[in-house]
Amino acid sequence: MIAWTIYITFAAAILVIAAPARFARWTALSATAADLLISLIAFFRPAADPAHYTTLVRVPWIPTLGMNYQLAVDGVSLTMVLVTSLTAVSAVLFSWEVQERRNEFFFWLLLVVAGSFGVFLSADLFLFFVFYELVIVPKYFLIAIWGSTNKEYGAMKLTLYSFFGGALVFLGIIAAYVAAGSLDFNELARFGFDPHLQMWAFPVLFLGFAILAGAWPFHTWAPTGHVAAPTAGSMLLAGIVMKLGAYGGLRVAMNLFPEGFHVWSKWIAVVAVIGIVYAAAVALRQRDLKFVIGYSSVSHMGFVLLGLAAANVLGVSGAVLQMFSHGVIGALLFALVGMIYHRTHTRDLDSLAGMNLRRMLPFTTFAFVLAAAASMGIPGFSGFAAEVTILIGAWKTFPVAVWITGAGMVLVAAFTLRILRRAFFSDQIATSPEAAVAYSPITFAEKAGATLLLVTTLAAGLYPKLLLDRIMPAIETMRFIQPNG
Amino acid sequence: MYLELLKLSSPEGILTLTVLCVLALGLASRGSRLPAFVAIIGIAASAVAIMLLPKTASLFNGMLVVNRLNSLVKLVCLVLSAFAIFLAQEERQNASVTSQLGEYVAMILLATLGLLLLVGSEELLMIFIGLELTGLSLYILTAFNSTDLRSPEAGLKYFLFGSTASAFTLFGLSLIYGMCGSTSLAGMVEGLSGAFQPLLAVGIVMTLVGFGFKIAAAPFHLWAPDVYEAAPVSTAALIASASKVASFVVVAKLLLLGFGPIIGSAGWHAAAGGWSPVVAAIAALSILLGNFVALVQTNVRRLLAYSAVGHAGYSLLGIVAGTPEGFSATLFYATVYAITILGAFAVVGWVRRETGGDNISHFSALSRRFPLLSVYMTIFMLSLAGLPPLVGFFGKFYLFSAALDAGQNNGLLWLVGVALFGSFISLYYYLVIIKAMFVDEPRALPAAEVAASATSAGVKLDHSGERWVIGFLAAAVLILGILPDTLLARIANALT
């Protein structure tokens, strides 16, 4: 049934472009709401067996070359589908006021969402890659047409980075296909690849995925892309697209080439730790609110990589939990920044300082404080649960990395508190009267979207077992897990 | 015997008769679309004749070979030429094409006839005759636009380069004949069974010069940008599509069937003497040079020409692999590339008619005037860049996996890496065109062009036919991308 998320979203995309523009947002909302409902039902269905990679559909597609249209689901896919639909619903809600070329906008937005569902559910390497590459072009249009600051540059940079990563993934996939003669994930995950092949194919494949996941030093597309993107675009980028890379690294690279992974895992950890600390340090120096959030995304994705590199059940499960958590928190933060920018037309921290936002936009301030707390990793929010799980997992494998990451977390707290104080709780009260103009009120759609994400991060933070119960059994059966770790 | 010949060469015969009819009609009714109509009927009849041919037959020691592969490729060439003729009769801004449509279409048909001969033969002399017939017709077609000085210039350039390349090929073929004592591909295999000799290497390289010219592979591509830019749009489309497909098939047959024993190896650590290292070098050079030079082009047709050099490089990968899989992949890629580039040229022709030029700036904000046309162009461009779910993506997947599969220890990994790098670069310049159509603001028209477009708007012409054809090609690119097996199974079937 969960496969319907893909079909509904694609159908809605076609409907949106074919129907008059005034139906576009309602179509998009009902499709994504249906996706959310389906993924929630699938997630909470008691009969589901999260440990088993259950095949949903298997139809011969290109029999001459052995490609199948094959979808499968386990606990990890379920979690990713859930965060995708959550982000999608709120992204649609936050795009409610988009006026320009509205049906095209929702068409591209739905295409990104549908392609992402496809990536998280496909169990055939070729199908996986088709969906994976399908997401690239819609992002370009979303940013280049509806974006803001430096949009054409940001869009092109992001697209070329994605496509470059895609080319590396392509090479790795072909290498696996040629060696194993199969494209089925289940068969590939049992196939014993030649260690020599794994040694070069794993880094190529993983690097390709890591570029999309925003790994240092290939992260630079992320901040510029986020800044250039429209609000919904940033939400999709942070909430979904970066997760595609991390998910690919886990599902494909690590499962196919476990020996290559064990050789290279320490380098992944090094890159992850540098990313966490470096991005947090850079965020501390930014003046544009969206740049800060963009770099914080890179920093948080570093945690995902660190968890994956730990190569044990706790670390990797924590990484998946962090994908979920950052998907929600990242999307929320970008949504709130968009909310502010929509009204003040600036994201410059110094300008915002004089605008007395805590009086003018009380709801935004309230939500931003909560989101910032979640982002910093305050207990009770999902970020804390995820990061602690990752650090415990990583402690067993890379204790030094955990120490350095601890310092990085201080930096994360520092830059988060800095933007909170500068943007919302500054002492400079605006003296100029025109700064006191009443902003257009926060719409119901915006409130609903923000509340949805806030409730999710709180729920996942207060009761992470709900997610971990589905993630951990799935991770335990993956073959790269070292039995002793 | 001669009755048999008449029967087996019926497609070519029908086409020859059509040429005569079209020429006569062109003289009788100047300026009408009748010749194009008759030509398309002739092509359809020829296609029917191909389908009625026996499964396998061979005449005169391989001069005329009928098998499933040749028939399939002939059909593809005929379909592509029919599209080119369709484009020709829509070229309204091109006075010399319109007023002399009979001659123009007759030349396209002659070029097609040359392609059929080229494809249907497994004998060096006939291959050369086919090559020359195609070449000479295409030189004339390129120079056909007498109102634009660049067109005869490009024709002359094409002719000079082409005849030099042909001379090389003929010399190479004569050397090969001297070494093997046979001009049929089957006979050559027997003659070649000995060791690899230097003189043979000279012969093969010289032969490759001529074919490298035909498929516009670097460093024999220098004619392509000028010809693509200045020739009538339909001619450029024909050169880029049907002529390409046929040439690739012939190169593949020549190398794999004729020179099969001396393939050598292009593997990184296992390079061995033979033709495959040479072809691999040509492929790598084409991919890098074509894609890098395309980056700086401002004219869409020149851009497509340089990108064609890159695509020729990709297509050669399957031949370098030297396996049946590789051959099938090359054939698949060349065919779908031809369909895509035909569509792209059709759009360029349309834009040229509406805006008076074909620079990237002429595509600015095209999506506001012709939304559907821009969508089609986007489909063609993204397919060329190799993005799913379009057919170019599947073609690349098939081609690259066939290349990686060949040889020991993924020896061709370096070449696949180069190809992937090239296709990464290519996305940029295809995106520039897409950006112009969807993101850029409309450009300010110079006064002269406003006047020009006003006059063309005054003559209300019905282009709905062209719209449907471009839509059909775009749908083909999309549907073949989602269900590549429809074409792939046929090719695989023809090769077994």
Instruction: Specify the residue for token string 């090559």.
Output: B131
CB–CB contact A163 B484 (8 Å): no
DSSP A151-212: HHHHHHHHHHHHHHHHHHHHHHHHHHHHHHS--BHHHHTTS---HHHHHHHHHHHHHHHHHH
Q: Quote the mean pLDDT of chain B.
A: 85
Q: Is the predicted pLDDT of residue B445 greater than 80, yes or no?
A: no
What pLDDT does A432 receive?
55
Report how far residue A36's alpha carbon sits from residue A52's, in angstroms, rounded to the nearest whole number: 22
What pLDDT does A436 receive?
57
Q: Is the predicted pLDDT of residue B447 greater than 60, yes or no?
A: no
What pLDDT does B43 receive?
92
Question: How do the domains of chain B map onto residue ranges?
Answer: 263-442+463-496
Query: Nearest to residue A460, comparing CAs of A52, A83, A85?
Result: A83
For B18, residues 6+ apart whose C-beta sits below 8 A from its C-beta are B38, B39, B41, B42, B43, B45, B46, B109
What pLDDT does B457 receive?
47
What pLDDT does B104 receive?
87
Report how far residue A451's alpha carbon sits from residue A433's, in angstroms, rounded to the nearest whole number: 32
Query: Nearest to residue B281, comparing CAs of B121, B383, B406, B415?
Result: B415
Whether B372 contacts chain A with CB within 8 A: no
SS (H, E, C) B164-222: HHHHHHHHHHHHHHHHHCCCEHHHHHHHCCCCCCHHHHHHHHHHHHHHHHHCCCCCCCC
What pLDDT does B201 receive?
82
Helix, strand, coil % over all residues of chain B, rounded to 5: 80, 0, 20
What pLDDT does B42 receive?
92
CB–CB contact B404 A145 (8 Å): no
Whether A21 contacts chain B with CB within 8 A: no
Which residues in chain B have Cβ-Cβ distances shorter than 8 Å to A131? 388
Residues counted in chain A:
485
Write out residues in chain A with pLDDT < 70, as ranges: 47-48, 428-437, 482-485
CB–CB contact B387 A65 (8 Å): no
Of the candidates A130, A133, A174, which has its C-beta nearest B404's C-beta? A174
Nearest CA in chain B to A169: B420
CB B199 within 8 A of CB B179: yes
Nearest CA in chain B to A66: B485
Q: Shortest Cα distance from B434 to chain A (angstroms)?
A: 10
- H or E element that contains B57: strand B57-59
Residue B284 C-beta-side C-alpha neighbours within 13 Å? 15
Nearest CA in chain B to A130: B388
Q: Is the predicted pLDDT of residue B9 greater than 90, yes or no?
A: no
- Residue B123 sits at φ, ψ, to 5 deg, of -145, 135
Q: Shortest Cα distance from A333 to chain B (angstroms)?
A: 28
Rg (CA), chain B: 22
**pTM score, whole prediction:** 0.91
Degrees, nearest 5: CA angle A343-A348-A350: 110
Report how far residue B165's alpha carbon sits from residue B207's, in angstroms, rounded to the nearest whole number: 9
Residue of A64, A160, A199, A211 for testing the chain B interface, max B β-carbons within 10 Å: A64
Report how far residue A155's alpha carbon sits from residue B440's, in angstroms, rounded to the nearest whole number: 14
Exposure letters A130-139 (e unless 16+ CB within 10 A, then b): bbbbbbbbbb
Q: Is the predicted pLDDT of residue B274 greater than 90, yes or no?
A: no
Per-residue pLDDT reduced to its tens digit, B13-65: 899 999 999 888 888 877 677 888 888 999 999 999 888 888 888 887 778 88
Give how far Cα A386 sits from Cα of A33, A235, A283, A327, A468, Å: 26, 20, 21, 12, 10
CB B161 within 8 A of CB B223: yes
CB A190 within 8 A of CB A120: no
What pLDDT does B459 receive?
47
Whether A108 contacts chain B with CB within 8 A: no
Whether A59 contacts chain B with CB within 8 A: no
Which residues in chain B have Cβ-Cβ distances shorter than 8 Å to A62? 394, 484-485, 488
Q: Shortest Cα distance from B359 to chain A (angstroms)?
A: 20
Nearest CA in chain A to B371: A104
Whether A130 contacts chain B with CB within 8 A: yes
CB–CB contact B404 A178 (8 Å): yes
Which residues in chain B have Cβ-Cβ distances shorter than 8 Å to A168? 420
Which residues in chain A have Cβ-Cβ distances shorter than 8 Å to B485? 61-64
Question: How do the domains of chain A map onto residue ranges?
Answer: 4-476
Of the candidates B398, B416, B435, which has its C-beta nearest A144's C-beta? B435
What pLDDT does A208 receive?
93
Which tokens is A475 given? 């991770």
Which residues in chain B have Cβ-Cβ distances shorter than 8 Å to A144? 435, 438-439
How does residue B452 score in pLDDT terms, banded at 50, 70 and 90? low
What pLDDT does A268 receive?
92
Cross-strand pairs, B184 = B123
Of the candidates B389, B405, B431, which has its C-beta nearest A159's C-beta? B431
DSSP A52: S
Q: Greater confidence, B446 or B107?
A: B107
CB B328 within 8 A of CB B257: no
DSSP B397: H
Nearest CA in chain A to B484: A62
pLDDT > 90 in chain B, percent: 34
What pLDDT does A48 receive?
67
CB–CB contact A62 B388 (8 Å): no
Pairing of strands A54-62, A67-73: antiparallel
Nearest CA in chain B to A173: B401
Region B131-154 average pLDDT: 88
Nearest CA in chain A to B382: A137
CB–CB contact A65 B382 (8 Å): no
Cross-strand pairs, A59 = A69
